[in-house]
Amino acid sequence: MADKHAKLELGGQTYDFPVLEGSTGPDVVDIRKLYGLTGAFTFDPGYKSTASCESALTYIDGDEGVLLHRGYPIGQLAEHSSFMEVSYLLLNGELPSKAVLDEFEFTITRHTMLHEQLAQFYRGFRRDAHPMAVMCGVVGALSAFYHDSTDISDPHQRKIASHRLIAKMPTIAAMAYKYSVGQPFIYPDNRLSYTGNFLKMTFGVPAEEYEVIPAVERAMDRIFILHADHEQNASTSTVRLAGSSGANPFACIAAGIACLWGPAHGGANEAALNMLREIGTPDRIGHYIDRAKDKNDPFRLMGFGHRVYKNYDPRATVMQKTVREVFDALNVKDPIFETALRLEEIALSDPYFAEKKLFPNVDFYSGIILSAIGFPTTMFTALFALARTVGWVAQWNEMISDPGQVIGRPRQLYTGPTERDYVPVEQR
Ligand code: CMC
């Protein structure tokens, strides 16, 4: 029995609903019986006030700018952990011992190759296809190649599918890049780390030995950590909704990739860098700030604002630091970084952004780093998808293992015509 209750008055009657408490964060009013008791639905487009599930993976306090994975602050994970360790943590709930981590990395490494026939599948795409279009197609097609891990009622098959998805995503993303530039695919190299391997598959060529630059490998790994999971965001909710019908894991992750692609979500990193390049020099910032504030102009500052964070996105803080590290390691200087820093400064001192609590998000600085490493902007969202796969997979597993899980089926506020008789075409 819940200790707290919420009362609702509707149609002259009072109804009592239990209030559930999480381990931290806001309470939730349990309205599961609302329709049965009252005949009414709640109305919450965009789910701004709706908790769609129970989850023990990730906690965000948007007002304070806090992001925890299984209780560990993102800043500490980005500083001290690795993407493989964070992946294990998200999937299993605890940080692994050294031996367990080694075994996990070994398992993931042994799943990095793609079925050879999938390489031919790429050739069906146009060379100028967006990598996210290719990712959607190829990941969806995995269910046609790995039949032995699509039975979601079997925990072992779910585990294998999870490992396959995390392991194969760098190969799939790197191949999408190679295909777009007309270079041969590079096979995974098991001697390298997860991230080093991805860099080699992306930037290596058969004609030359590829040297992984440790500082770049570390920065890339950190970017993966920062994108690994983010609670019930649009693409994760898409994965959960797709999975709630019992769809296979590869199909569910393909659905997540499709949702991530949009410019309001994962596509913002590409849009943010394009915007910074368009702004160019700091003297042009004022014009773009004015446009962002103009109600009649659809332009928004990309990489700014967040549905949950009403404070500085903690991931943006780490990203900003990582830009400097990558620039130092590669000995590059991109004037766009100065423009970004100045834009942030101007926006944060402007009452419009202060009142609406719009701060830089994870995507504001990530594009500058990825561009310095050598990725074209079209690959940015594909990298986000690569890293977010572990979050999607962990959330999907959590949902399937939840005994209270049912198919997701929202209702609606119907505003269309009421019942009317069909009129034959010659009488219209
Ligand atoms: N530039 C200018 N104005 C903005 C911006 C922005 N980037 N973001 C929000 N606003 C204004 C918006 O016009 C609205 O004003 P008003 O109340 O006068 O109508 C107000 O702020 C609230 O905006 P909203 O769209 O209702 O807020 P939301 O929580 O639904 O949207 C968002 C969040 C991320 C979609 C939005 O801030 C946005 O479009 N940002 C730019 C795209 C972006 O950077 N997305 C990456 C998100 S982080 C990575 C991820 O999780 O995928």
Per-residue HEC secondary structure of 14-79 comes to: EEEEEEECCCCCCCEECCCCHHHHHCCCCCCHHHCCCCCCCCCCEEEECCCCEEEECCEEHHHHHH
- Whether ligand 1 lies within 6 angstroms of the CB of 358 is answered as yes
CA of 304 to the centre of ligand 1 (A): 7
Ligand 1: nearest atom to the Cα of 384: 52
Q: What is the pLDDT of residues 284-307, one digit of tens each?
A: 999 999 999 999 999 999 999 999
Residue 27 is a catalytic residue: no
Q: pLDDT tens, 246-274? A: 999 999 999 999 999 998 888 888 899 99
163, 221, 306, 313: the active-site residue? 306
- Band of the pLDDT at 315, cuts 50, 70, 90? very high
Q: Is the CB of 233 under 6 A from ligand 1?
A: yes
Q: Is the CB of 104 under 6 A from ligand 1?
A: no
**Which conformational region is residue 332 in: left (phi greater than 0), alpha (psi within -120 to 50 degrees), or beta?**
beta
Beta-bridge partner residues of 410: none
Element (H, E) at 6: strand 4-10
Q: Is 306 annotated as catalytic?
A: yes
Taking the centre of ligand 1 as the mean of its atom positions, its distance from the CA of residue 29, in whole angstroms, is: 27
pLDDT digits (tens, 9 = 90+) for 343-391: 999 999 999 999 999 999 999 999 999 999 999 999 999 999 999 999 9
13-20 β-sheet, strand order: 4-10, 13-20, 28-29
Query: Could you identify the residue written with the tokens 């499709």?
Result: 258
pLDDT of residue 416: 98
Predicted confidence band at 147 (pLDDT cuts at 50, 70, 90)? confident
Tokens for 57, please give them: 């993976």
**CA–CA gap between residue 252 and residue 258 (Å, rounded):** 10
For residues 139 and 170, give the distance between their C-alpha atoms in angstroms, rounded to a whole number.
11
pLDDT of amino acid 150:
87
Average pLDDT over residues 319-348: 93
- Across residues 53-74, what is the average pLDDT? 96
Helix (H) / strand (E) element for 141: namely helix 131-141
Confidence of residue 2 (pLDDT cuts 50, 70, 90): low
- Residues of the chain by 3-state class (helix, strand, coil), percent to 5: 55, 5, 40
Residue 187 in tokens: 């096979």
What are the strands of the beta sheet with 58-61, ordered from one edge?
58-61, 66-69, 72-73
- What proportion of the chain, given as a percentage, has pLDDT over 90? 94
For residue 402, the SS3 value is coil
60 Cβ closer than 6 Å to some ligand 1 atom: no
Q: Ligand 1 pocket test: which of 229, 270, 356 has the largest number of ligand atoms within 8 Å of its C-beta?
A: 356
Which two three-digit tokens encode residue 231?
């609670």
What's the CA gap between 6 and 17, in Å, rounded?
5
* 3-state class (DSSP) for residue 8: strand
Give the closest residue (by CA) to ligand 1 atom 14: 356
Quick check: 238 pLDDT over 60?
yes
Strand duo 72-73 + 58-61: pairing:
unpaired
Closest CA to 216 of 379, 386, 373, 380: 373
- Residue 223: how many other CB atoms lie within 10 Å: 28
